[in-house]
Amino acid sequence: MARHLITSAIPYINGIKHLGNLVGSQLPADLFARYQRARGNEVLFLCATDEHGTPAELAAAKAGKPVAEYCAEMWEVQARIAEGFRLSFDHFGRSSSDQNRKLTQHFAARLDDAGLIREVSEKQMYSHADGRFLPDRYIEGTCPNCGFESARGDQCDNCTKQLDPVDLINPHSTISGSTDLEMRETKHLYLAQSKMKDQLEEWIDTRDSWPVLTTSIAKKWLNDGDGLQDRGITRDLDWGVPVMKGDAPWPGMEGKVFYVWFDAPIEYIACAQEWVDAGKGDDWQRWWRTDKGAEDVRYTQFMGKDNVPFHTLSFPVTILGSGEPWKLVDYIKSFNYLNYDGGQFSTSRGRGVFMDQALEILPADYWRWWLLSHAPESSDSEFTWEGFQQDVNKDLSDVLGNFISRVTKFCRSKFGETVPDRGAPGPLEQKLFKDMDAKLTEYEAHMDAIDIRKAAAALRALWVMGNEYLQEAAPWSTIKENPEQAATQVALALNLVQFYGIISAPFIPDAAATIAAAMRHEDTRWPQSLDEALGRLEPGHAFTVPDNLFTKITDDQRADWQARFAGTRS
């Protein structure tokens, strides 16, 4: 039995994520986790909230709450929405956990012992009115290059010139508007990534068939300009993991915290500890320590393309640099972005559909199916309401839902709600078995390779085969001349229904559960062969006709939603 450690990029705490965020990490990770479990493999699937950093502090201030309280509440909100989408995390942790604090401090100590941490004294913009150092992008002013008045301290949005906050004319804080700013000396810890450049590059070069997107981004960072740069891993903030060297104070670093991008990936490990401490498991080290049972684990990470540098470079430096036998990632599945109706999803402008809103208007399966079957794997992809309505109605209602409906209702009217007696398969059935066997193999191959759109297409093709078979077998005709043959055909078709529930479960778990309940057969073992899988419902087995699995999206609904989500989120 293979063992799969699966992590999704951890969503930031300051608000509810949109569908683009969902399809870029959590949802495909869940698909893979569900599939591997269904195949009978051992899976540990982890996700968490990423809670530290300036944006969290500001969001909390805006909500008028202490940041810890704000984060605790938002964690609840995100956890509930994740359940709504049926994201099957074994544990949904928090980067602010004690476990992560200790582990982050531990890694920092190990890295320092290995000579991979250096102190750097630098000047940063301090705002007296805000009482804090400000990241460059929280400072705005007039661009010295083009005169644009809302240029950010890191880059001018108008002329795209790279800036330094001191370059700005009339700089002010975007938080308070204050112009009472000064450059202050401050000391920070830097992770000496450059020392490990060769080791990193060798590691990346030996990774097998990673997505182009993943390796090209990593290579760029490794070789661009002067090569891989060292990176500041501390910040002057209150909210975060206090800078400590293991259990000991870090002289000169009092009052500082680690940078979120240092502690966030470490949460992948800490989350496994949280999983154990929550009583859900009893040994996290056999997933994370190659000296304690993790050498046969296959570790797969899922993330949007913006997260790739941290997962291919910084986090591996943390792991490798520690000199301890932690499990390194085996495969990084990265995604492009999902656009919304000709533009980008926008959190700030409320453009697009957010996870909570999506669940308010339609069940999770609709979103799961559409998003996964259109996952932005090779390039950015696009959500339009027309496309969504058409695809979901056709695939889920017409092809799959209607198949289940026509089969179960036909059987009920002619044979009652039990599986009828079944004779030997004829040529038509043998051909079906052969074709489906090939398509199932293809489906499994795509799922194994995490080729999501191709997997969805193969699954849909399997659904279509049921309709093709029914059309050709035409039990509504054969029943007039040859009731035994009709019975055989219907018994097979009922088994197809059951079979579809099992193989579709990773994509549409709720519908799969409904099918299993209706067929009164909770056996979800993955098919060993078509013969075996299509023989599980035996003659005489009772079932019930389910309600229509998927109601169609009407034109009125579509128009309504289109208008509702076009602009500002209320």
Question: Taking CB under 7 A as the rule, does residue 428 contact RNA?
Answer: no
Q: Pick from 468, 484, 532, 538: which binds RNA (CB under 7 A)?
A: 468
Q: Pick from 4, 5, 6, 12: which binds RNA (CB under 7 A)?
A: 12
Q: How far is 165 from 151, CA to CA, in rounded Å?
A: 10
Q: Which region, judged by CB under 7 A, interacts with RNA, from 48-56, 67-75, 245-253, 558-566?
A: 48-56
Shortest distance in whole angstroms from residue 487 CB to RNA: 14
Shortest distance in whole angstroms from residue 552 CB to RNA: 5
Shortest distance in whole angstroms from residue 297 CB to RNA: 26
Shortest distance in whole angstroms from residue 550 CB to RNA: 4
Q: How far is 566 from 53, CA to CA, in rounded Å?
A: 30
From residue 218 to residue 237, what is the string marking binding to RNA with x (rule CB under 7 A)? --xx--xx-xxx-xx--x--
Question: Taking CB under 7 A as the rule, does residue 410 contact RNA?
Answer: yes
From residue 132 to residue 171, what is the string marking binding to RNA with x (rule CB under 7 A)? ---xxx---------------xxx----x-x---------
- Whether residue 328 contacts residue 512, with contact meaning beta carbons closer than 8 Å, is answered with no
Q: Measure CA of the first residue to CA of the last residue in the chain; give whole Å.
A: 49
Residue 32 or 221 having the CB closest to RNA: 221
CB atoms near residue 360 (< 10 Å): 10
The DSSP line for 167-214 is: GSEEEEETTT----EEEEEEEEEEE-GGGGHHHHHHHHHTS-S--HHH
Residues between 481 and 540 that touch RNA (CB under 7 A):
none
Residue 401 or 509 having the CB closest to RNA: 401
- Exposure class string for 262-277: b at 16+ Cβ within 10 A, else e: bbbbbbbbbbbbbbbb
Q: How far is 356 from 25, CA to CA, in rounded Å?
A: 17
Token pair for residue 44? Answer: 């540990």
Q: Pick from 296, 472, 484, 532: which binds RNA (CB under 7 A)?
A: 472
Residues between 106 and 135 that touch RNA (CB under 7 A):
122, 124, 135
Residue 292 or 409 having the CB closest to RNA: 409
From residue 287 to residue 326, what is the string marking binding to RNA with x (rule CB under 7 A)? ------------------xxx-x-----------------
Question: β-pairing, 244-245 with 248-249?
Answer: antiparallel
Total residue count of the chain as it appears in this document: 570
Shortest distance in whole angstroms from residue 409 CB to RNA: 4
Phi, psi torsion values for 94, nearest 5 degrees: -140, 135
Question: Taking CB under 7 A as the rule, does residue 548 contact RNA?
Answer: yes
Q: Which region, judged by CB under 7 A, interacts with RNA, from 33-41, 208-216, 494-502, 554-562?
A: 208-216
Residue 243 or 297 having the CB closest to RNA: 243
Distances (CA, A) of 242 to 48, 105, 323, 344: 20, 8, 23, 36
* Contacts of 423 by beta carbon, 8 Å cutoff, 6+ apart: 484, 485, 487, 488
Site size with RNA, rule: CB under 7 A: 84
Token pair for residue 193? Answer: 């990534």
Residues between 173 and 202 that touch RNA (CB under 7 A):
193
